[in-house]
Amino acid sequence: MTKGNAFDPNCPTRLVLDRIGDKWTVLVVLNLCQGPMRFTQLKDQIGGVTPKVLTQTLRAMARDGLLTRHVFAEVPPRVEYELTELGHSLRAPIQAITDWAEEHVLQVMASRTGTLDQDE
């Protein structure tokens, strides 16, 4: 459908782009690739995320069908988040982005600090 006009703000692709463009979403996917995980575990893994924001992220991702939220009726409470098939399918493209980031971070940092002596 309407290939390439993610430039149209009404294009649904933009909505999807907004979600997966989210910093935390990317990190959540990368974590959950390895299997289901609990809230606190996730929070500890992903440095710097506050519980509020993590909750928001997870809820939004669940709403979009990227992951499931499974509450166990236990005490202490246990909630597991697990990628859906859809969520798993995001892994490859996200990996492409993070690979790029890791590969080129030095160039970016060099450019950012005005050090223009990168010759790669």
Partner DNA sequence: AGTAACCAGTATCCAATGGATACCGTCGAA
Partner DNA sequence: TTCGACGGTATCCATTGGATACTGGTTACT
Secondary structure of 41-84 in HEC code, one letter for each residue: HHHHHCCCCCHHHHHHHHHHHHHCCCEEEEEECCCCCEEEEEEC
Closest to 107 (Cα-Cα) out of 95, 96, 117: 117
Candidates 41-49, 86-94, 101-109, 112-120: pick the segment binding DNA (CB under 7 A).
41-49
Q: Which does 21 bind (CB under 5 to 8 A by kind): its own copies, DNA, none?
A: its own copies
- Interacting residue with DNA among 8, 12, 17, 50 (CB under 7 A): 50
- Interacting residue with DNA among 5, 16, 41, 89 (CB under 7 A): 41
Q: Which does 70 bind (CB under 5 to 8 A by kind): DNA, its own copies, none?
A: none
* Residue 77 vs residues 35, 38, 82: alpha-carbon distances, Å: 19, 10, 16
Which residues lie near DNA (CB under 7 A)? 22-24, 38-41, 48-53, 55-56, 58, 69, 75-80
